[in-house]
Amino acid sequence: MTSFLEALAWLGDPAHWSGPSGIPIRTAEHLGYTVLGVLVAALIAVPLGLYAGHTGRLASLSLALAGAARALPTLGLVTLFALLLGIGLGAPLLAFVILAIPSLLAGTIAAVQSADPATVDAARAQGMTETQILARVEIPLGMPLLIGGVRGATVQVVATAMLAAYVGNGGLGRYIFLGLGARDYPQMLAGSLLIIALALVLDLSLLLLQRLTAPRGVRAA
């Protein structure tokens, strides 16, 4: 309990809110790594998920691979990639992408497949092309599920992005590693609290977005 109060005092110290290693900069870096990781993962997982979900091809294979990828230990990946790529942002970013893909892929496939087959058939009977069916029927109907995939991936990456600091980057992980190494536990706890707060903010924002994108009359989320 004492350390919790000390961590709050650390957070309240104005000295920790300015400069290149101040909380605003570190939070921005942390958020940047998260967004970048999820974005790159989405560029890979969303098109693949749309294809797999719409055609039914590769769906079980990609889900199985994605499931297996969830078991990869991220710290191990960061170390492995950093030995290959050197220190810097490349190695942790690659690990975050691998971490984010399973949720995004599963979310996208589920989103496309959630559309009622009768609705899809009706669209096809009206003469819609397959691309139109995907873009005008399946994606809008499944949007809350797709956002749900983004939400899961984001929360995972934001909670893991502290590992960027393991190999020479910034982010809120710097407070955790410095606190751990220098036995400055209030600082370590403060870093953790900031990450928790950031994760909650992102989670709630995406939840809100999920609600807002639900088509009228459909409550898929």
Backbone torsions φ then ψ of 196, nearest 5 degrees: -60, -45
- Whichever of 83 and 197 has its CB closer to another protein, that residue is 83
Nearest to 48 by CA among 37, 64, 39, 59: 59
Q: Which helix (H) or strand (E) holds 196?
A: helix 185-213
Those residues with Cβ within 8 angstroms of residue 90's Cβ, 6 or more apart along the chain or in another chain: 81
Q: Does residue 122 interact with another protein by CB under 8 A? A: no
Query: Binding to another protein by residue 73, rule CB under 8 A?
Result: no
Query: CB of 182: closest distance to another protein in angstroms?
Result: 4
Q: Does 5 bind another protein (CB under 8 A)?
A: no
| 188: its two tokens | 């370590």
Residues 173-202 within binding reach of another protein (CB under 8 A)? 174, 177-178, 181-183
Among 38, 167, 195, 206, binds another protein (CB under 8 A): 167
Binder among 109, 165, 172, 189 for another protein (CB under 8 A): 165
Q: Does 115 bind another protein (CB under 8 A)?
A: no
Q: Coil, strand or helix: which one is 18?
A: coil
CA–CA separation, 166 vs 26, rounded Å? 14
Distance between first and last Cα of the chain: 38
Which stretch, 49-57, 60-68, 92-100, 170-178, contacts another protein (CB under 8 A)?
Answer: 170-178
Is 74 a binder of another protein (CB under 8 A)? Answer: no
Q: By CB under 8 A, is residue 82 in contact with another protein? A: yes
Shortest distance, position 133 Cβ to another protein, whole Å: 49
Q: Is 94 in the site for another protein (CB under 8 A)?
A: no
Phi-psi region of 5 (alpha: psi -120 to 50; beta: other; left: phi over 0): alpha
Tell me how far apart the alpha carbons of residues 130 and 116 are, in angstroms, rounded to a whole number: 15
Site for another protein contains 88 (CB under 8 A): yes
How far is it, in rounded angstroms, from Cα 189 to Cα 203? 21
**Minimal distance, residue 177 CB to another protein, in Å:** 5
Which member of 12, 22, 56, 86 binds another protein (CB under 8 A)? 86
Cα dihedral across residues 30, 34, 37, 40: positive or negative: negative
Quote the least distance from Cβ 84 to another protein, whole Å.
9
- Residues in the site for another protein, rule: CB under 8 A? 79, 82-83, 86-88, 165-168, 174, 177-178, 181-183
